[in-house]
Structure 1
């Protein structure tokens, strides 16, 4: 009984700490930049509207940027958690398994041939690309029996193949060079248009993922166990795959292929709150948002006062983490 109480207290404390840190991160994100804005002005802008230069910057530039960062981080972290659950592979993430690369390739291709697409069309194209990338990895890895190593190798191969095609498209098409900054992963310059572009997909995808979390927890126990408990394994995998496409595809359409969040966050969350996906999924959303908001703050100081893509920071953090996980191999606990 005492152990259960301690476990619940740890979960509550982790949630409160995460929420407080996220709020502080959003406030810091709004105040830091080429134009310094003090925290008092940031707090005032939430309760009192005026036409000052500072509040104009906050409302039109800084606040939507912070919101996009939080939504993209939450989306990618939950997508990574779902991928690790349905594949039972601790190295799975939207980037490693070709989902981000597929979405990026399709978006860049559409930008070259159809430069005037609407935001809705762009998101739909990202969904198709994410699905193609993920299905290609699954198809290559499933031949002759699927293993964690085959999934990881197939994912990396498809990722590099699609990334090479994307870079070739940019090199040979002058009009595609504008997307180079976006291709690293960036939330710089995002406006309320981008918030409206990602918000419905994020809210619906995250909401369904939370509702779906109990079934995912059972699936992680193994297919035979899940079937014995009355779960329809094939349907669970299909729905989880659709959620990954929605969450990762909409994020890439808005912010580019920001890497490693879907790999890092689920592992950290499992350490903090345990292996129950009813906790992992909502906490992944919280800490994914937290990581990307703070990574964006750090990215502003790489070449201050000029902006740097947030993908640089997530890669610096994520690449060593990936190597650490790969070295530990099967000792990683799902």
Structure 2
């Protein structure tokens, strides 16, 4: 299914188990996600109208039928910005369960910053065509996700540490979030994932919200740790609660299969985390203005206990090689920068 304002000559078919889609589009460049069901098994289709079409067909009112197939990993951000840049301003929106990106506004769309890390594996793969990709990796496509920064009235923001048993980004600090299910609105995804992971339900009328930005995420996050097995574009939302963090925490019942710890972090710590950006160097120093440790809540066997975590752990950056370390995800740092007003537009 495609947007209502597109021509109706759109159709889809299946060919030898691979979903093939034909879309009739105007002479513009579009990215389209077709979301599949399930969390771990979510699949999608991503494509674009070739860049050279507008220049060859400028002024034409005709449309073209484009056959689409699941592509090999390629950088979504790179579709909208030059190869040497890592961010672009795009228009995004949902239409009947489909997540759309475009370099031009369309009905119901929102302008937003799309960014990838400088070490994005899809970007690096584009620079190294000699690297062969197994068929199962070439056919995965891009899935849509949502993550929510929940900010209490006291100014603190909730981050959670992913369980060590998870197959993607174990032991990494992130906001609650997950896949977009077919037909879901972005806010509904964020609220659902917040409740599923933390047990926290926000009553209607007790919060406001807005879109922060889009982040291109692959796992493993670097080619030095292997070829990418998962590829997402994550929409970061900011939820501003009318309640203080202590009141929110009293209602939390975290899901230990997904969350091993959580923390309500103060603005100075959040600003220091955001300032580390997407640097690749491992553990860094702690600014003298920050405490040496911060309070977190550890979860184990159905019980919760307060403990102290070295602040340096949250300021760690992704190591270039070897095993990953406990740290705040690079995408989360990007979102925190936007939330705190320290990140500019391209």
TM-score normalised by the chain length of structure 2: 0.23
Select the structure with the greater relative contact order (CA < 8 A; seq sep ≥ 6). Answer: 1
Q: Which has the higher strand share?
A: 2
TM-score normalised by the chain length of structure 1: 0.24
